Structure 1
Amino acid sequence: MTPATRLSLACSTALMALGGAAAAQSYTIGITQNNVGVDSYQTTYEQAFIAAAEANPDVDVVVLDAGGDVARQIAQIQDLVQQDVDAMIIWPTNGQAVIPAVREAYRAEIPVIITNSNIAEEGFDFVRSFSGPDNITQGQRAAEIMCDRFKEKGIEDEAQIVEVTGQPGYTTAIERSEGFQQRLPEVCPNVTLLDSQPGNWNREDAQQVMEAFLVQYDDIDGVYSGDDNMGVGALNAALAADRAGDITFVGATNFAVGYDAMERGEYWGSIYQSPVDDAEAALQTAIDVLEGEDVPFLNYFDTPKITQENMDEFDRPVF
C-alpha cells in the first residue's frame, strides 16, 4: 500500500466537466489513519472506508496511513490542510500529541471528525464530532463479563487477574482500561488485579507479556485484553504453558481469531465491534457535517457483549 491513495471518482469528474449546473455538491474528504498494517481491524476499516467512498459519486477521498508514527500523522494533517480538503477524518496515533495539528485544521476552517479513538479532552473545541465506539462502556462491559463468569465458577471472592492493554498514550487503550478498572470493583469487589502491561495491539507482544505474567504469578484466574488480537496472544502463551484451562480470557473488539477461540471453548467473551460499521459511520458523519446536518459530538455506535453462551447470535467477524 502506498502512503497516499487518491480516489477520484469518474462520475463526479464528468459532472464537474459539464459545469456542475445540475450536479450535487461534491466534497474532498481526507483521512489519516493510525496504523493500517498493525492488525486486521484497521486493515478492514480502510478497505470498508474506500468502498464506501467509491459508492458515493459526490465524494473524493485522500487516504493516508501514519503507520503508528505521531510525527508522520502530524505532517499528514498539515498536508491535508495545505490541500484545503473540505473535511478531515483523523484516527489518532496519540490522542494528546495530535492536538496542535488538529487546531491548525480548525483554524483553517476545515471540520475535523475523529474516528475510532478520541483525542484528549482539551482538543474537543477543535473537533466537530467523534465517530466510533464508546470505549469506556466497552471496558465496563468486559468487566461485567469477567465478573459474571467468576460468579458462575464460584471464585468471585478470591480471583486474581492480569490485564494486557493497548498502545500507551492511545485513547482507546486508556479508556478501555479505565472502564474495566472502574467497573470491576463495583461488580466484583474482591477480585484482585495483579498487574497491567501494554501489548501494543500486537499479538506477539501480548504473548510475551503473558509469558512474563505466567512466570511471575502462580495463580491467574482471568486475563482482560484491550482487544481480541492481544487476547489470543495471551491465550497462546497460556496454552504453551499448559495453564489455559484454569484461566478466563475476556477481550474487546471481537476479532475472528477471538470468535474462533470462543467456539473452541478456549476464550470466554468479548465486545462485538465491526470495522465496517466504524468506517462507514466516520465517512457518513463527515458528509453529514458538510451538509449542515445536526450531528452529535459523541456519535457512538453500539458494541454488545458476546460470550460462548450467546455467540450464535452474532456473525463471525470479517477481520
Structure 2
Amino acid sequence: MSRNFRRAGAAVLAALTATALVACSSEQAPQGEGGEGESAGSSTDTITLGFSQVGAESGWRAANTKSIQDTLTAENGFDLKFSDAQQKQENQIQAIRSYIQQQVDVIAFSPVVETGWDAVLEEAKAAGIPVILTDRAVDSEDDTLYESFIGSDFVLEGQTAGEWAVEQYDGEGYKAVELQGTTGAAPMIDRQQGFADAIAGSDIEIIDSQTGNFTRTEGKQVMEGFLQKYDDIDLVFAHNDDMGLGAIEAIEAAGKVPGEDIKIITVDAVKDGMQALADGKINFIVECNPLLGPDLAEIAKKVIAGEEVQKRIVVEDQAFDQEAAKEALPDRQY
C-alpha cells in the first residue's frame, strides 16, 4: 500500500478540491494583452492575475498548467493572463514586467531557476503588486518580495526516494546513476540533496550524475551515454518521471530489462510513470502533486482581501510501490 508522507508544518487548505484534468500538450502564448476581459481594478469582483509558467517540459507541468487554467476562471472570479516561458528565465522576467505594466492585481509564477529574481520582484513590490510563488522557490534574502510560496518539499522527496533505496538495496553494493533536473532549479538542487543525505552511510554509490532537463528525450539521451560508459549500473534515480521513462527506452534498447536488471526510482507520479510502475518497469515513485490551482486561487483571494497568509504552504504528497500504483491508477487525475 502507499505510504503517506505528511510534511512537517504543512498547511493543507481543506476546503479545496482538485479540478479534474485533461491532457495539455500545446504551449500557450501570453493571454490577455490587449484582449477582452476585465482590466485590473475595473471590478471589485474580478482578480486579474498574471501567471508565468516554466514551460511544457513534462506531463507534470502539463497537469500543473491545466489545474491553474481550470481553476482561475471568470466563474471563479479571475481574469487569468497566462504565459509560457519555454524554460527561459529571461522570458519569465519579461512576462512579469509586462504584468506590472498592465497593473494586474496579482503576479504568480513558477521560477525556472532559483536565483536572479530580486530586481524584477522589487519592481513588482514598488508597483504595489503582490507576488505568489508556485511549485518552485526563489533564492532571495528578502522574503518580503513575495507573499507566499506554495509547493512540495523537494528535499523530502529526494530523502523519501533515498530511504526506500536503502531499505531495499543496502548491502548489495549497488552502483547508481542520477538523472538530474534543470541545473539551478529548486527541485534539482533539493532532490539531489535529499537523496544523497538518505543514502549516506549505505553501500549505494552514485557513480555519475547528469542533467536531463526534466524531459523524456534528454533523459533517454543521458541514459544512453551512461550505458555506453558503464557496464555495472544497478539503479537509476531520476528527478522526475519523464526522465525515468526516457531511461526505460534506453535500457530496453540496450537489451536490458528495466525494473529488473536496472532498478528505477523517480519523482512525480503522473499517469505514464504510474503505469510504468504498475508494469514493473519502475520500482518506486515519490509523488509531487501538481494540482496547485485551488491553492493559488485561495491565496490570491486572501491577499487581495488583505488577509494574512502563510509564507510557506507545503503540499501533501504520497509515495508508491507497484501494488499501490495499481490501486491508484483507475482514479488518477494526472
Report the TM-score when normalising by structure 2: 0.84
Matched letter for residue 69 of structure 1: K
Residues 92-121 of structure 1: CA deviation (Å, up to 9, x unaligned)? 112212332122112222111111111114
Which residue in 2 is equivalent to 1:68? 87
CA distance in 2, matches of 1:57, 1:190: 52
Aligned length: 302
CA distance in 2, matches of 1:109, 1:33: 22
Q: CA deviation at 1:288?
A: 2.1
Give the aligned CA root-mean-square deviation in angstroms: 2.2
Residue in 2 that maps onto 1:93: 112
Match of 2:189 among 150, 160, 174: 174
Q: Deviations over 1:114-169 (max 9, x none)?
A: 11111114353311110111111111111122222215xxxx35111110001111
For the 8 Å contact 1:249–1:268, the answer to whether it is kept is yes
Q: Which has the higher helix share?
A: 1
Q: Is the 8 A contact 2:269 2:287 kept in 1?
A: yes
Which residue is equivalent to 2:295?
A: 281
- AA matched with 2:122: R
The reply on whether 1:4 has 2:67 as its aligned counterpart is no
Structure 2, unmatched stretches of 5+, are 1-26
CA 123–189 in structure 1, closer or farther in 2 if over 3 Å, else same: farther
Contact 1:138 1:176 in 2 (8 A): yes
Structure 1 Cα separation of the partners of residues 208 and 222 of structure 2: 10
Which string of whole-angstrom CA distances, capped at 9 and with x for unpartnered residues, describes residues 238-296 of structure 1?
Answer: 11112232211000001222111111111111112332x22322232222222233322
Q: CA deviation at 1:177?
A: 1.2
Alpha-carbon spacing, 1:211–1:57, altered in 2? closer, same or farther (3 Å): closer
CA distance in 2, matches of 1:55, 1:41: 25
Query: What is the alpha-carbon distance in structure 2 between the residues aligned to residue 179 and residue 290 of structure 1?
Result: 36
Question: Which SS does the other structure have where 2:293 is aligned?
Answer: helix
- Percentage of pairs with the same residue: 26
**Quick one: distance in 2 between partners of 1:117 and 1:291?**
25
* 1:256 is aligned to 2:256: no
SS at match of 2:280: coil
Counterpart CA distance in 1 for 2:177 and 2:304 is 44
Letter in 2 for 1:281: D
Cα pair 2:278 2:323 within 8 Å, conserved? no
**Map of 2:50 onto structure 1:** 30
Retained in 1: the 8 A contact 2:152–2:289?
no
Contact 1:9 1:60 in 2 (8 A): no
Judge conservation of contact 2:54–2:87 (CA < 8 Å) in 1: yes
Give the deviation of 1:312 after TM superposition.
3.7
Could you say which residue in structure 2 is the equivalent of 1:42? 61
* Rounded Cα–Cα distance in structure 1 between residues aligned with 2:295 and 2:142: 21
Structure 1 window deviating more from structure 2 (119-128 vs 206-215): it is 119-128
State the match for 2:305 in structure 1.
Answer: 291
